[in-house]
Each structure stands twice: as structure tokens, then as C-alpha cells.
Structure 1
Amino acid sequence: MNAIEQQLQYGKRNRISLIITVITIFCLLVWSATAINLENMAANGLDIAKSIILGILNPDWTLLTDFKGGIPYLLIETLAIAFLGTIIGAIIAIPLAFFSASNIVPKPVAWIVRLLLICIRTIPAIVYGLMFVRVTGFGAFTGVLTIAFVSVGMLAKLFVDVIEDLDRSVLESMTSIGCNMFEKIRFGIIPQLSALFLSIVIYRFDMNLRDASILGLVGAGGIGAPLIFAMNSYRWTQVGSILIGLVLLILIVEYLSNKIRTKLVKG
């Protein structure tokens, strides 16, 4: 069989697989659509939706200029929660990442630590928030603890991927001259990983800023609590002000973090 015949046969198999995939996705969409129940929609639902849109498009600008206890203060608190929680999570994640890297520690140890990290990542941020609220009460400290625990699992996983892609020749050279494990990490690994680790932490900080704004819904500090209170009391102009401030904050932070990460990667 020549190359042309092989390509034709491969094309036919690929076409059959594509057709099967499209049919499967269509069937899943039809099955999912059966769960939609429009009977529970309120009769005045369209009026409420109109009020929401008009309120968001006509925000209360006075809240955005109140720097003592208004939206700017709450946004700064949200930013602080995300930043401090990310730093604490990164500090905890670094040793866990080294202990779960199979090219650094024995495989049984790496497997046990990875299982622990999987368990940490399994629990959603909102669940951590609800648990810590019961332990430490309402406030920003609860948000910091929640962000830290949420960050540990994902940061450690990303750190491990970087550690396992290290240039092993450096470690082998250090082993040949009698370096111990601490010396390998301090002088052979950290210099290679510092820029990549920092880039990962900045990326996680972007995600944590969004999580921190949601955690206020369960009383973990930040902008989330005023947002849910305004929505429950149908003060849509306040909702619009909060959303505008939150969007501006996220855009600014994302722009700055992308600039920093680009410089770190290029080096």
C-alpha cells in the first residue's frame, strides 16, 4: 500500500470519527435541553431583567468616589486578601511540590504527597470559605486562609510540572561532587526555577482575585458581601457600581501581571 492509499484510508477513518463525535455531542445537547423548565420562570421575570440591566447601566457613581468605606476601600481589601492568600499558598506549595516531584524524592513519597494535593484541589473555594467562617468567623482573615488553601493545590501541581522538566545534568553533576539534597535544591534547582515559579504565582494571583470577590458572599471579606446584599435588596444601581469597580480592578491587575510575566519569561 503506497502513501496515497494510506492517506485516503486515514481520511475515511478520520471522517467517520468526526461524524460520530458530532452526533454524540448533538445527542448530549438535546438530552441536556430536556432539563430546561420554563414553567418556573416568574411572570414578571422580563421586568426584573430589565431593571437589572438599567441599574447596571446607570450605576451610583457616588459609591465609586467614597474612599473611606465605599467601593474603593472594599476593592483594596479584596486585592489584599488575594495577594496575601497567594503568598501564603505559594510558601506552603513550594516544599510540597519538591516532595511530590519524582525526580527529587523517592516515588512512594511523591505519590503520597500528590494524593494529598489532589484531595486539597478537590474541595471548591466556596466550601473552604464556609468551613473557615465557622472556625475564624467573618472577616478578611477568613478570606486569606481560604485563598491560601485553594492556592496550595494548584500551585504545587504547576510547580511539580516545572521541577520535573529540569535539566537533570545539573543535578547529576552536583551528585558526582557529593552535594546533599538541600544543596541540590538551593544551588542547582532554585536558580533555574525562580523566574518560572514567580510567573506561576502571578498567574494564580489573577485567579485568586476573582475568587476573593466571590468569597465575600459567604462572609469572607472583600467586595462580595456588599454585592450580594445589594442584589438581595434589588438596589441595582449599587450593583452596577460594584461591578464597574471590580471590572476595572481586574483589568488593571491583569494588565500589570501580564507585563511582569512576559518580562520574567523572556528573562
Structure 2
Amino acid sequence: MNTIEKQYQLEPNRKLSQIATLLILAILFVWSMSTVQFEAFTANGFTIAKNILLGLIQPDLNLLFNFSSNGILYLLVETMAIAFLGTIVGAILAVPLAFLSASNIVPKPVSFIVRLLLIFIRTIPAIVYGLMFVRVTGLGAFAGVLTMSLTSIGMLSKLYVDVIEDLDTSILESMESIGCTVFEKIRFGILPQLSALFLSIVIYRFDMNLRDAAVLGLVGAGGIGAPLIFAMNSYRWSEVGSILIGLILLILIVEYVSNKIRAKLVRG
């Protein structure tokens, strides 16, 4: 018991730092709340919120089960296709960039420059990329695919690098000792170890891209976002309810399947 008491007394007193941290957080919370204008909430806003909830309860079933190109099912498939294709393109392009930014693979100056490029790519929000590509390619799914590809590159490269730099470097050193080039080290010494982890990361990014693809439709980059905003602007709440129900079900199904696949990859 004496040993425990002595150990407890030797512990540094962190009460002052904890109180200071709580005080700083409280000040930041109060300061952040000062930017929220509660008077902006009007009776009309509450009415719209009520109508959206009613739309979820009483959706337009004809639209929900419409199999034409204007139906919810077609738009959901288009949204999923945009997210999937954008993820695949981004995942492929991210692989060389990740290896070029890994300090244990390439010289540090090269790694530093590529990392700066990836930081710049990640800095710009997806909605901004969407607006840019809509101007370049016009309205439609192609702009959405390009946006998803570019936004995926930034995040996937960063996650790839974290995995690459955690590798056992003894394998690379042994390959270097027998005269292997950088490409050979990547192809035969690294990729076989990383394929499962990379695939798990790609599936995780696909989950995110599916949500982003729905939002990109708001700026005309294809998918279900555009019909959603049009229905809301026209106060067609039953259509809004149908679109939201379809979107929620799609995301739940994809997330369930992707979690199962990722769990198997991690175990296997």
C-alpha cells in the first residue's frame, strides 16, 4: 500500500493544466456560439422542416419505384457509378504519387515536393472542383467523375503514404543490397504486402465519395443531388421524401457491404 501511495505522490500535478484547457475550450465555445444567430430561425423555417419530415413519412411512391431515366432508382445508380468510377481512377493515380511522397522510398527533396502538391489538392473542397469541372465539361456525370477522381487522389495518397512508411524497411534494404531498382522494390517487395491495406482504404474512400457524389449533383455534376434541390425549391416535399429515402437506403446498403469486405481484408 505504501508503494502505491508513493507512486501516486510522484505523479505530476496536472490540475492547473487541465483547468487551463477547460477554460480555453469554454472561451472558444462561447466565442463560436456568438456567431450563431438564433433570430434567423423563423416560423417559415420550422414549417419547411415539418414539410420535409412529412415528405419522408408520405413519399411519392410512383417516383420511388419509377424505373425510367427520371426515376429515383436510375438516379441512385448514376450517383453510385460516379462515386465508383471516380474512386477507381483516383485510387490508381494515387499509387505513384504516394510512393513519390514516401520518404523511405524516394529522396527527401522529391518526397517534400510531392507532399506539397498533395496538400494543395486536398485543400480545395470537392464542391469547388465540381463547379470548375462543370464549367469545363458542361453539366453531367463526367464532371462528377473528374471531381471524385481529383478529390480522391489527395486523401488516398495520404493514407497510402502512412501505410508505406510503416513498412518493415529490412525488406527494402535486402532488395537494395542485391541491386534492385526503385521500381523493382515497389513492384516485388512492397505492393504484395500492401494490396489488402490499399484495397481497404479504397473501399473506405468509396463510402465517402458516395455521399459527396450526392452533394455534387447540386452544382450540376450528375447524380441525385440536382433533382433533390429542384424538388426542394419547388416545395414538392413528397418528392424530396422519396429522394431522401432512396439515398439513405443506398448509403446504408453500401456501408454494410463495404464494412463486411473491409473486415475480411483486415482479418485475411
- TM class by shorter chain equals over 0.9
Opposite residue 204 of structure 2, the aligned amino acid is Y
Deviations 1:139-166 (A, max 9, x none): 0000000000000000000001111111
Residue segments in structure 2 that go unaligned for 5+ positions in a row: none
3-state SS, counterpart of residue 12 of structure 1? coil
Opposite residue 117 of structure 2, the aligned amino acid is L
Say if 2:99 and 2:105, in contact at 8 Å, map to a contact too.
yes
- Aligned CA distance change for structure 1 residues 78 and 5 (closer, same or farther; 3 Å): same
Does residue 1:189 correspond to 2:187, yes or no? no
Residue segments in structure 1 that go unaligned for 5+ positions in a row: none
Q: 2: distance between equivalents of 1:255 and 1:49?
A: 29
Opposite residue 109 of structure 1, the aligned amino acid is V
In the other structure, the counterpart of 1:48 is 48
Q: 2: distance between equivalents of 1:9 and 1:46?
A: 57
Say if 2:85 and 2:145, in contact at 8 Å, map to a contact too.
yes
Q: By how many angstroms is 1:173 displaced?
A: 1.3
Q: By how many angstroms is 1:245 displaced?
A: 0.5
CA RMSD of aligned residues (A): 1.6
- 1:64-143 correspondence to structure 2 within 5 Å: 64-69=64-69, 70-143=71-144
Q: 1: distance between equivalents of 2:9 and 2:30?
A: 33
In the other structure, the counterpart of 1:23 is 23
3-state SS, counterpart of residue 75 of structure 1? helix
Does residue 1:144 correspond to 2:158, yes or no? no
Q: By how many angstroms is 1:5 displaced?
A: 5.1
Q: Higher mean Cα deviation, 229-238 or 148-157?
A: 229-238
| Length-normalised TM-score, structure 1 | 0.94
Opposite residue 227 of structure 2, the aligned amino acid is P
Q: 2: distance between equivalents of 1:261 and 1:186?
A: 23
Opposite residue 76 of structure 1, the aligned amino acid is V
Say if 2:90 and 2:152, in contact at 8 Å, map to a contact too.
yes
Opposite residue 18 of structure 2, the aligned amino acid is L
3-state SS, counterpart of residue 167 of structure 2? coil
Q: 1: distance between equivalents of 2:38 and 2:263?
A: 47
Q: Higher mean Cα deviation, 193-202 or 46-55?
A: 46-55
Opposite residue 233 of structure 2, the aligned amino acid is N
Opposite residue 224 of structure 2, the aligned amino acid is I
Opposite residue 18 of structure 1, the aligned amino acid is Q
- Aligned CA distance change for structure 1 residues 42 and 129 (closer, same or farther; 3 Å): same
3-state SS, counterpart of residue 143 of structure 1? helix
Q: 2: distance between equivalents of 1:162 and 1:215?
A: 30
| Length-normalised TM-score, structure 2 | 0.94
In the other structure, the counterpart of 1:32 is 32
Q: 2: distance between equivalents of 1:114 and 1:137?
A: 31
In the other structure, the counterpart of 2:213 is 212
> How many correspondences in the alignment?
265
In the other structure, the counterpart of 1:163 is 164
Q: Higher mean Cα deviation, 169-178 or 72-81?
A: 169-178
Q: 2: distance between equivalents of 1:23 and 1:6?
A: 29
Q: 2: distance between equivalents of 1:228 and 1:71?
A: 14
Q: By how many angstroms is 1:27 displaced?
A: 2.0
Say if 2:218 and 2:225, in contact at 8 Å, map to a contact too.
yes
In the other structure, the counterpart of 1:257 is 258
